[in-house]
Amino acid sequence: MAHYNIMKNKKLTHHHIQYIINKIVLPKLEYIFQHTILNLKQCQSLMGPLKRLFKQRLNLPSNTADNIIYNHMFQSINNFFDIQMKSQLNILGALFNTPVLREIAIQKIHNTLSEIWYSTILSNINTYIIYGPYCKTYLLN
What is residue 8's predicted lDDT score, i.e. its pLDDT? 79
Helices then strands, each counted (H, E), the chain: 7, 2
Among candidates 122, 50, 112, 120, which has minimal Cα distance to 79?
50
pTM of the model: 0.68
Q: Which among 77, 37, 33, 35 is positioned nearest to 53, based on CA atoms?
A: 77
**Rg of the Cα trace of the chain?**
20
At 45 the pLDDT is 92
Which H or E run includes 118?
none
d(C-alpha 75, C-alpha 55), whole Å: 11
Task: Specify the pLDDT at position 74.
Answer: 82
User: Given this model, what pLDDT does residue 126 score?
Assistant: 60
12, burial (CB in 10 Å: exposed 0-12, middle 13-18, buried 19+): middle
**Cβ(1)–Cβ(50) under 8 Å?**
no
Closest CA relative to residue 136, chosen from 107, 102, 106: 102
CA 106 to CA 104: how far, in whole Å?
Answer: 6
Helix (H, G, I), strand (E, B) or coil at 137: strand
Residue 141 is predicted with a pLDDT of 44
Provide the residue-wise pLDDT of the chain in tens; the chain has 141 residues: 677 778 878 888 888 989 999 999 999 999 999 888 899 999 999 999 999 999 988 889 989 888 888 888 888 899 999 999 999 888 888 888 888 888 888 888 888 877 776 555 555 656 655 555 544 544 544
